[in-house]
């Protein structure tokens, strides 16, 4: 609702040329952290994750950080007394799940093998392109390799019926991961 | 990092039946070291006996870095290979994991989704269209292009910039000539962007565009993002409001099919114009301009003539509609302009003009274009606070907006029928070979059995409607202070002493029945009901170090309430209970509620549930904006202790920035909760379930990257520091109440509390389920959507669903189930209290008490 105020603009801690709205910073940091991970190392403030500080200034920052009060308040303020009479006898239960050890469901493993459209949000454009290509292969068994190679084919053409399960791997559990990036 | 763990899965057991007749099976092979090294891209297996192994290895190997250019592995005769899949002998047993639960009574449900029976089977070609000379007007742009409709292929889609069609032009850049109605010649440059295959996400966007296009055939008006039907409007003249019924639609990939979700929405349109505000605020001539400015600045207005919205940035009192401006090379007054262009006659020629900075344009062209608006023609949108608190208005609106299931189903079917019979819409759908199913989608849901509510000496079933209010009459509360409430104070105005008498009498009576001893309090009578008097009395009472201070107030004045709370929570660390005199006249039922609340505020437990897990910590987190300072917000975290032994909660609040969607200081707060747990139980929790509220589905991915991974890492470190060999079993569940999904029983009723749906309408890329935990009496119930974004909890989907449902029984302000798990509800309550009333961090000494209830 509020109007855009120039004061609401912030700079990326990795690259001062990156200027953005305050609310975009968190998203942006995820990207830049990956992008600059070999070049710039910043320390994360223990009180606020958005504070990324170069090492020389880090110690000073931890002393002056605004959010230090979260811990300071905790330390300097008497904690609640422990009351014994809130405790009760162990509840007798109909079931006991304590020792259950069931494998957890992994939606990604399912989706990568099912006949479904998968989204390619939150990854670098080059990865997205590769992902889309992979997906076409997976779902449509499309042999065409490049969009450009396809130019001469007459369209519209009927697509083959989508089939389930084809080869696919993805590195989507780690968005913004650059693999063969040249720097 | 979820994938590294998978190697450690337990071996195949008979329980994981591989032949479960369940659609949601996948065969993920446990990683053997052999399959780990076998990367399908580096070693594409040409023979038919290997592909499945490599494929499954591939499915598991999600963390292998890979170059974007490396193509996928095996050849084309995959259909053949698929058949072979089932005959392959696996080196390691296959595990079958599904997110579909099995427990509970089956129930046949309907939901507000329609299947898409057929979708376009063609590749869609995506073009970018440029016009020269440039013209902004969308209608003109579309008009110019429409002359070439035949060349563009049937049923092309054009949104002003992007063109989607099935036809591929020979060249990458096609240049056409067009003419607008004003006889201006345009050059149309159509640039080829790419193909959109049916296998990618953009395809869904195109489907949504097609649907939008066909909905235009129903003569709907777009307001904001959704389409509304101005012809079916309901006018509520006594409140100068109109309700426009409309539809919220979206086509998405669901568990197996692509489906259309359609929800009946209502737009509240105020018939009041800015001119009406002007007339109202001119009563005091001296302050007239200032007052009008104050009322109007920042308002969003809608102009009927072009159906656009603007935000008012300034008022120009020096000008009037008779002022002229330059339009197409000649000066024209506003009065004349509106008359010729829209045939609107402006009545008051002396009204000031409104100025609006058009934000969209400013971003596009970098020109801060100012838009001049006429007050008379600007309709105000949104509800004022005054209207929000108007009970009658709310009731009248609820009559129209709260549709019971039967009416809602009816409306949805009508929508479907209209869409499939209106020629205009049918044509668009047919052009794209899109066919919508006539019927609402049917789902098999399950009802989790009613839970047991534990009182001190009794356990009773919560019942089908999940309401146990009546059991308080003859059951004692689960835990109460052993000494009772023996040191407490009440503050009341002198003239309300009769009300105080009744209240204390009722309280005493009900509390005795609930096994809660309430001694007589120290009474302080004040002579007026000013805030200052209350605070003074409060300070006075604080000297006896009371367990609780009860304030009887004549009405719910926010300022007084805030001051009392602030004094109690921030300055004194004494829980306070504010009771209005009106509540005291409501007799026993309210007294029961107050007695339960007082018990909670002392840190004790009114009831418990049958919890089958020990060493479990459930955490709820929510953020609320600060009402005083818009740049601030407060995040509250509420964590349960081991509820099998000590069912109490720990709460902490931290100030955070209102701009951040994700929490920056979640970890310090969580650490406090963990330390507290350790202090009480001398060990860290074995399992942690984190219920996170207040994130939109758009930022889910960021949430995982920014919040969840960090928490997982730090938890691991913290557990190591504490000497634990294994990190806790953690589930991070995003709770969202804003889903457009509705569920109905086949007899057009609301589904009963405990209904779970975890198939068909869920998303394939998520571990999610819908749960109806609350009983609803009016309108149709909106199920809460739970999305397990991180799961290392080692519990089955059944257990997670059941646990979540159990957790909805523990909100002590309400003797029934809540829409979200109790910890979430508490966190929300606490964050809101701090954000709207306290505006400061409460004392630590209160952290184990429900002082915020």
Write the CATH number for B364.
Answer: 2.170.260.10
Q: Is B316 a catalytic residue?
A: no
Q: Of B318, B217, B215, B309, which is closest to residue B269 (Cα–Cα)?
A: B309
Cβ-contact B553, B537 below 8 angstroms:
no
Cβ-contact B734, B703 below 8 angstroms:
yes
Mean pLDDT value of segment A72-79? 82
How far is the alpha carbon of B515 from chain A, nearest alpha carbon, in Å? 14
CB contact under 8 A, A136 and B199: yes
- Let me know whether B244 and B370 are in one domain: yes
Spell out the residues 6+ positions from residue B850 whose beta carbon is closer than 8 angstroms to its own.
B575, B597, B600, B601, B603, B649, B812, B826
Buried b (16+ CB within 10 A) or exposed e, B106-115: ebebbbbbbb
How far is the alpha carbon of A178 from chain B, nearest alpha carbon, in Å? 8
In a domain, B154, yes or no: yes
- Let me know whether B291 and B310 are in one domain: yes
- Let me know whether B185 and B246 are in one domain: no
Chain A / chain B CB contacts < 8 angstroms: 337
- Closest chain A CA to residue B8: A103
Mean pLDDT value of segment B60-77? 38
Q: Can you tell me which residue has the tokens 């009769």? A: B498
**Taking the domains of chain A in order of start, what are their residue ranges?**
9-76
What are B395-404's pLDDT values in tens digits?
A: 888 888 888 9
pLDDT of A175: 52
Q: Of B485, A93, B533, which is closest to residue B551 (Cα–Cα)?
A: B533
In terms of pLDDT, which residue wins out, B202 or A169?
B202
In terms of pLDDT, which residue wins out, A151 or B507?
B507
Task: Quote the strand ranges of B682-815, DSSP E.
Answer: 687-693, 729-736, 743-745, 755-757, 768-772, 784-791
Q: Is B693 a catalytic residue?
A: yes
CB contact under 8 A, B97 and A103: yes
Q: What share of chain B is helix, strand, coil (3-state, %, to 5)?
A: 35, 25, 40
Residues 556-595 of B with CB under 8 A from A: none
Task: Quote the strand ranges of B495-641, DSSP E.
Answer: 522-526, 548-553, 576-580, 608-609, 616-625, 632-640
Q: How many domains does chain B contain in total?
A: 4
In terms of pLDDT, which residue wins out, B342 or B489?
B489
- Let me know whether B169 and B256 are in one domain: no
The dihedral built from the CA positions of residue B660, B663, B669 and B671, taken in this order, carries a sign that is: negative
pLDDT of B27: 37
Q: CA B346, CA A175: separation in Å to the nearest integer? A: 56
Mean pLDDT value of segment B716-728? 89
**Can you spell out the DSSP letters for B197-253?**
-TTSHHHHHHHHHHHHHHHHTTT-EEETTEEE-GGG-EEEGGGTEEEEEEEEEEEEE
What are B580-613's pLDDT values in tens digits?
A: 998 888 888 899 999 999 999 999 999 999 999 9
In a domain, B853, yes or no: no
- Let me know whether B682 and B824 are in one domain: yes
pLDDT of B506: 92
Q: Considering chain B, what percentage of its residues have pLDDT values greater than 90?
A: 34
Q: CA B145, CA B177: separation in Å to the nearest integer? A: 9
pLDDT of B368: 57
- Let me know whether B234 and B325 are in one domain: yes
Q: What's the CATH code of the domain at B702?
A: 3.30.420.10
pLDDT of B358: 66
Q: CA B436, CA B430: separation in Å to the nearest integer? A: 10
The count of residues in chain B is 853
How far is the alpha carbon of A60 from chain B, nearest alpha carbon, in Å? 19
Helix (H) or strand (E) holding B130, with range, is strand B124-132
Question: Which residues of chain A does B666 touch, with a Cβ-Cβ cutoff of 8 Å?
Answer: 49
Q: Which two tokens stand for residue B723?
A: 């000497």
Question: Which residues of chain A does B847 touch, with a Cβ-Cβ cutoff of 8 Å?
Answer: 79-80
Whole-number average pLDDT of chain B: 82
Q: CA B554, CA B494: separation in Å to the nearest integer? A: 11
- Let me know whether B553 and B658 are in one domain: no
What does the angle CA B537 – CA B604 – CA B651 come to, to the nearest 5 degrees?
Answer: 80
pLDDT of B92: 37
pLDDT of B738: 67
Any idea what DSSP says for residue A127? H
Q: Residue B139: pLDDT above 80?
A: no
- In this structure, what is the dihedral angle of CA atoms B746, B750, B754, B758, given to the nearest 10 degrees? 50
In a domain, B163, yes or no: yes
Domain endpoint, select from B571, B602, B633: B602
In a domain, B540, yes or no: yes
Q: CA B542, CA A157: separation in Å to the nearest integer? A: 82
In a domain, B586, yes or no: yes
Annotated catalytic residue, options B499, B622, B642, B768: B622
Domain that includes residue B138, residue range: 124-196
CB contact under 8 A, A2 and B630: yes
The count of residues in chain A is 183
- Let me know whether B132 and B240 are in one domain: no
Collapsing DSSP states into helix, strand and coil, what is residue B732?
strand
CB contact under 8 A, A141 and B78: yes
Mean pLDDT value of segment B742-749? 92
Q: Of B38, B43, B44, which is closest to residue B64 (Cα–Cα)?
A: B38
pTM to 2 decimals?
A: 0.81
- Let me know whether B595 and B626 are in one domain: no
Q: What's the CATH code of the domain at B549?
A: 3.40.50.2300
- Closest chain B CA to residue A91: B644
Q: How many CA atoms lie within 13 A of B28 on its CB side?
A: 32
Cβ-contact B733, B788 below 8 angstroms:
yes
In a domain, B315, yes or no: yes
**Can you spell out the DSSP letters for B338-407?**
HHHHH------TT--EEEEE-HHHHHHHS---EEEE-GGGEEEES--HHHHT-HHHHHHHHHHH---HHH
Q: Residue B28: pLDDT above 80?
A: no
- Let me know whether B588 and B623 are in one domain: no
Q: CA B649, CA B605: separation in Å to the nearest integer? A: 10
- Let me know whether B524 and B651 are in one domain: no
Long-range CB pairs of B146-151 (<8 Å, 24+ gap) are: B147/B178, B147/B179, B148/B176, B148/B178, B148/B188, B151/B176
CB contact under 8 A, A168 and B59: yes
Q: Residue B727: pLDDT above 50?
A: yes
Cβ-contact B693, B635 below 8 angstroms:
no
Q: Can you tell me which residue has the tokens 């190392």? A: A41
Q: CA B572, CA B777: separation in Å to the nearest integer? A: 41
Residues 44-73 of A with CB under 8 A from B: 46-51, 67, 69-71, 73
Q: Residue B620: pLDDT above 50?
A: yes
What are B805-831's pLDDT values in tens digits?
A: 999 999 999 999 999 999 999 999 999
């Amino acid at each position: 609702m509020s109007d855009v105020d120039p004061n609401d603009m912030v700079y990326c801690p990795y690259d001062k040329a990156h200027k953005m709205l305050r609310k975009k910073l968190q998203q942006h940091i995820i990207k830049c952290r990956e992008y600059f991970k070999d070049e710039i190392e910043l320390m994360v403030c223990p009180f606020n994750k958005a504070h990324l500080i170069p090492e020389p200034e880090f110690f000073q920052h931890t002393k002056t950080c605004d959010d230090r009060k979260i811990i300071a308040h905790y330390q300097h303020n008497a904690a609640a007394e422990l009351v014994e009479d809130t405790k009760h006898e162990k509840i007798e239960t109909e079931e006991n799940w304590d020792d259950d050890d069931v494998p957890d469901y992994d939606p990604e493993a399912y989706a990568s093998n099912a006949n479904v459209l998968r989204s390619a949000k939150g990854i670098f454009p080059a990865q997205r392109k590769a992902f889309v290509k992979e997906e076409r292969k997976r779902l449509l068994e499309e042999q065409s390799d490049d969009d450009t190679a396809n130019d001469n084919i007459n369209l519209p053409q009927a697509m083959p019926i989508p089939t389930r399960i084809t080869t696919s791997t993805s590195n989507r559990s780690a968005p913004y991961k650059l693999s063969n990036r040249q720097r | 990092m979820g994938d590294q763990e998978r190697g450690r899965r337990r071996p195949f057991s008979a329980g994981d039946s591989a032949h479960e007749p369940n659609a949601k099976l996948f065969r993920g092979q446990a990683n053997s070291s052999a399959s780990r090294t076998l990367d399908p891209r580096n070693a594409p297996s040409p023979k038919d006996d290997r592909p499945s192994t490599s494929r499954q290895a591939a499915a598991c190997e999600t963390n292998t870095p890979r170059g974007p250019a490396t193509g996928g592995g095996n050849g084309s005769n995959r259909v053949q290979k698929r058949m072979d899949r089932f005959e392959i002998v696996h080196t390691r047993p296959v595990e079958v994991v599904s997110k579909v639960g099995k427990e509970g009574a089956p129930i046949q449900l309907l939901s507000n989704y329609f299947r898409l029976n057929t979708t376009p089977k063609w590749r869609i070609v995506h073009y970018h269209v440029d016009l020269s000379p440039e013209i902004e007007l969308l209608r003109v742009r579309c008009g110019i292009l429409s002359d070439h409709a035949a060349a563009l292929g049937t049923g092309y889609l054009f949104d002003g910039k992007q063109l989607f069609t099935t036809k591929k032009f020979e060249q990458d850049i096609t240049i056409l000539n067009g003419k607008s109605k004003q006889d201006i010649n345009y050059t149309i440059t159509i640039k080829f962007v790419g193909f959109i295959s049916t296998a990618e996400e953009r395809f869904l966007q195109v489907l949504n565009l097609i649907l939008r296009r066909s909905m235009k055939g129903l003569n709907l008006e777009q307001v904001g993002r959704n389409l509304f039907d101005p012809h079916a409007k309901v006018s509520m003249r006594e409140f100068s409001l109109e309700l426009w019924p409309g539809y919220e639609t979206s086509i998405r990939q669901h568990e197996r099919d692509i489906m259309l979700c359609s929800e009946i929405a209502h737009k509240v349109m105020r018939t009041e114009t800015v001119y009406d505000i002007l007339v109202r605020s001119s009563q005091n001539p001296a302050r007239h301009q200032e007052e009008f400015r104050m009322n109007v600045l920042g308002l969003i207005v809608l102009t009927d003539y072009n159906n656009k919205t603007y935000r008012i940035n300034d008022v120009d009192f020096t000008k009037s509609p008779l002022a002229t401006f330059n339009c197409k090379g000649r000066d024209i007054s506003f009065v004349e302009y509106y008359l010729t262009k829209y045939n609107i006659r402006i009545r008051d020629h002396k009204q000031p003009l409104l100025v609006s900075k058009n934000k969209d344009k400013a971003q596009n062209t970098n020109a801060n274009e100012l838009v001049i608006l006429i007050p008379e023609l600007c309709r105000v949108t949104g509800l004022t606070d005054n209207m929000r608190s108007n009970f009658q208005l709310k009731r009248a609106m609820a009559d129209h907006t709260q549709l019971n299931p039967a009416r809602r189903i009816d409306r949805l079917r009508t929508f479907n029928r209209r869409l499939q019979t209106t020629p205009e819409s049918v044509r668009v759908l047919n052009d794209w070979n899109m066919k919508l199913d006539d019927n609402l989608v049917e789902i098999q849901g399950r009802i989790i059995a009613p839970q047991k509510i534990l009182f001190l000496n009794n356990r009773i079933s919560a019942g089908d409607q999940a309401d146990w209010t009546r059991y308080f009459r003859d059951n004692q509360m689960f835990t109460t202070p052993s000494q009772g409430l023996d040191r407490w104070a009440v503050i009341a105005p002198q003239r309300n002493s009769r009300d105080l008498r009744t209240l204390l009498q009722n309280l005493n009576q009900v509390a005795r029945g609930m096994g809660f001893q309430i001694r007589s309090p120290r009474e302080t009578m004040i002579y007026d009901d000013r805030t200052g008097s209350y605070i003074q009395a409060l300070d006075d009472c604080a000297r006896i170090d009371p367990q609780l201070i009860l304030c009887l107030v004549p009405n719910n004045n926010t300022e007084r309430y805030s001051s009392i709370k602030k004094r109690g929570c921030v300055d004194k660390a004494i829980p306070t209970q504010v009771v209005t005199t009106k509540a005291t006249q409501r007799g026993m039922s309210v007294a029961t509620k107050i007695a339960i609340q007082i018990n909670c505020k002392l840190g004790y437990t009114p009831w418990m549930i049958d919890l089958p897990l020990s060493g479990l910590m459930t955490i709820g987190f929510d953020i609320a904006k600060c009402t005083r300072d818009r740049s601030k917000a407060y995040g509250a975290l509420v964590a349960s202790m081991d509820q099998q032994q000590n069912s109490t909660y720990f709460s902490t609040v931290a100030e955070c920035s209102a701009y951040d969607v994700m929490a920056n200081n979640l970890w310090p707060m969580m650490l406090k909760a963990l330390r507290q747990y350790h202090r009480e139980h001398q060990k860290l929790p074995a399992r942690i379930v984190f219920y996170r509220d207040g994130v939109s589905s758009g930022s889910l991915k960021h949430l995982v990257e920014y919040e969840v991974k960090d928490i997982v890492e730090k938890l691991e470190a913290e557990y190591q520091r504490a000497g634990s060999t294994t990190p806790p079993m953690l589930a991070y569940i995003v709770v969202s109440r804003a889903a457009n999904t509705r569920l109905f029983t086949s007899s057009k009723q609301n589904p009963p509390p405990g209904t779970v749906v975890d198939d068909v309408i869920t998303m394939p890329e998520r571990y999610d389920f819908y749960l109806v935990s609350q009983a609803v009496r009016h309108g149709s119930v909106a199920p809460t959507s739970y999305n397990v974004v991180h799961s290392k909890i080692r519990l089955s989907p059944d257990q997670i669903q059941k646990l979540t449902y159990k957790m909805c029984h523990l909100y002590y302000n309400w003797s029934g189930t809540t829409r979200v798990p109790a910890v979430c509800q508490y966190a929300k309550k606490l964050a809101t209290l701090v954000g709207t009333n306290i505006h400061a961090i409460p004392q630590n000494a209160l952290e184990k008490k429900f002082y915020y209830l």
